[in-house]
A and B are shown apart, each in its own frame.
Chain A
Amino acid sequence: MENGLSIELACPFEPIVASCAVLDPICHRSVPLSGAYGLFFVSRGVLRIRTRTRQIELSGGEALLLRGSTAEQVSLTAEAEAEYYHLRFRLTSRGSSAGTPLLEVPDRARVCPPERLTDLLRRYLELERRPNYSRLSLYNLLVLILCELARSAAPRAGDQNAEPTLEIIASRVDACIAAHYRRAIGTLDIARELHYNPDYLERAYRQERGISIREAIHRRRIREARAQLLLCGDSRIAEIAALCGYNDTSYFRRVFKRVTSMTPNRFRAEATVRS
């Protein structure tokens, strides 16, 4: 019985483009969706996505799924250098029968851990670049990617029993910083909020991210300050400093200079000239 197996499978799908790119804060990029689906996943930095009706800010580990109506354009700008993956595809509908399983995919999700999605997206890019790539493989990989987004939306209660790894602890600190950096927060406040000993938390964070929590807060604030300087050409530096959690403007100037090697005014002047 020397025979193989032959299986008929549906493949209601047409790949359009797939890429991984780094976007400089000064650059803009626009993507035509024109009736297709567009999936964006940010692996590093912050990406701002503007459609006709909304503006969305995606940070590292977040994914966005858009369905373009006819001839819709999406424009991308980055805060710091954002590394992101982008897939565009079309689904060809077949006469569907009742009882076809439906996969509910959230249009926006935080993937945890993000490596699970990075790994699949990287495979998608590799498969697509093979000389005679199989559309069926690509389609199956796409469904896996969508399943990954669907499960990100529904965190399981059972997962909380597991001992959190340093990476999870560091991610919680990052999330806490992202939520509160506009206020006057410090390492102690974060430790209290997350119920950890401050010294342990500091050690764990430094081991995982290579910087102190204090420094991470500064970097998050300065990232926001850069975006504000680019967006709001006429606000005063003091206003921007206050918006980013610094009550003392001269302290803000010093930190900004240290992190970006430029003064806020110089940064704004250069950005304005270039755009």
Chain B
Amino acid sequence: MIDSSSLPFEVVTSIEALNSGLFVSPGYGTHATRVIDSYELIFVSQGSLDMFEEGCTYHLERNQTLILYPGRRHGGSLPYAPDANFYWVHFLVREGSGGESVVQVPKVATVPDPEFLTELFCRFISDQESGTLDPLSAAHMVTLMLCEVSEADEVPLSSLSAGGSDNQGSTLARMVRSYIDANYRRPITTSSIARELVYNADYLERVYHRQIGVSILDAVHLKRIAAARALLRSEGRKNINEVAFSVGYADPGYFRRMFKRLTGLTPKQFRSLYSRTHINTH
């Protein structure tokens, strides 16, 4: 038997999490018009969503979030798009508990790391459905979600850098980025990307590394593994080899090693961790 004692930790939080879910569009109908007594964070994971709150309308695209206030009338401003999916969570904020850190959550934001936010929602909903969600974990998961949203980039990338040469560097980095996004399913390499964009490979590598902080090859792997995470969460029927092929790895063994290196888990473990999610359609 394990000899065990415990350490007490004081935990202070001013957030209280209520419930959460994933909404999948039934292809008809509109979000109900209502007033609720809690805050709501909405995160669009697929398609688009049109909402209003007290006379302001918001058009949300994939990977965008919206914060709704208690006591304000909100609802759908247009019928649901047929392909719309969004996560939602209700929470309360207790006044006056104070603290040295402030989290600033924009009304509407595009999240920088949608994978992390999705996985937080999945974890929350899965624990909620299995009855193992304790209030303290729930509160800290919601706080983490809000922290993620608060790190969102509201300013376009290009206006951040001042110097002319830096501007060119960030334009180049963005070109590489969007090339990878469009082509990661094919067998691409640093030199094939350089050839396609008509740049010297070493130069492109240097510029990209300086701008983004990882090599082009690592960026390709990160993109592929992020796509694999999304597939493993949603496509229960695909086996691991099929997932490997569909995100650009011809060798499933190599895919497994890469996945383990970047996530700490095997694809199978990752799938079992994120396989349960509650869905509502009304």
Give me the interface of A with B, judged by CB distance under 8 Å.
1-12, 20, 37, 43, 65, 67, 91, 93-94, 96, 100-110, 113, 115-116, 118-119, 121-123, 131, 134-137, 140-141, 143-144, 146-148, 150-151, 153, 156, 158, 165, 167
Contact = CB atoms under 8 A, between A and B. Distances in A.
Contacts, number: 175
Interface string B3-19: 11111111111110000
B265 A119 contact: yes
Ranked nearest first, the 7 interchain pairs of A and B with the lowest CB-CB distance are: A10-B99, A122-B264, A147-B137, A10-B12, A137-B147, A11-B101, A5-B105
A133 B147 CA distance: 11
Contacts of A6: 102-105
Contacts of B136: 101, 103, 143, 147
Interface string B101-128: 1111111000000001001000000000
B53 interface: yes
A100 B11 contact: yes
B9 A102 contact: yes
A105 B7 contact: yes
Interface stretch (B21-29, B77-85, B267-275): B267-275
Contact of A1 (B39, B56, B137): B56
Contacts of A153: 4, 6
B32 interface: no
Given A106-B4, A107-B4, A144-B141, A7 B100 contact: no
A interface SS class: mixed
B8 A122 contact: no
B140 A140 contact: yes
Interface residues of B, number: 58
A273 to B, nearest CB: 33
A107 B8 CA distance: 10
A103 B8 contact: yes
A10 B4 CA distance: 29
Given A8-B101, A134-B147, A100 B273 contact: no
Contacts of B106: 4
Contact of B137 (A65, A113, A144): A144
B146 interface: yes
B102 A8 contact: yes
Given A103-B11, A123-B116, A136-B103, A8 B144 contact: no
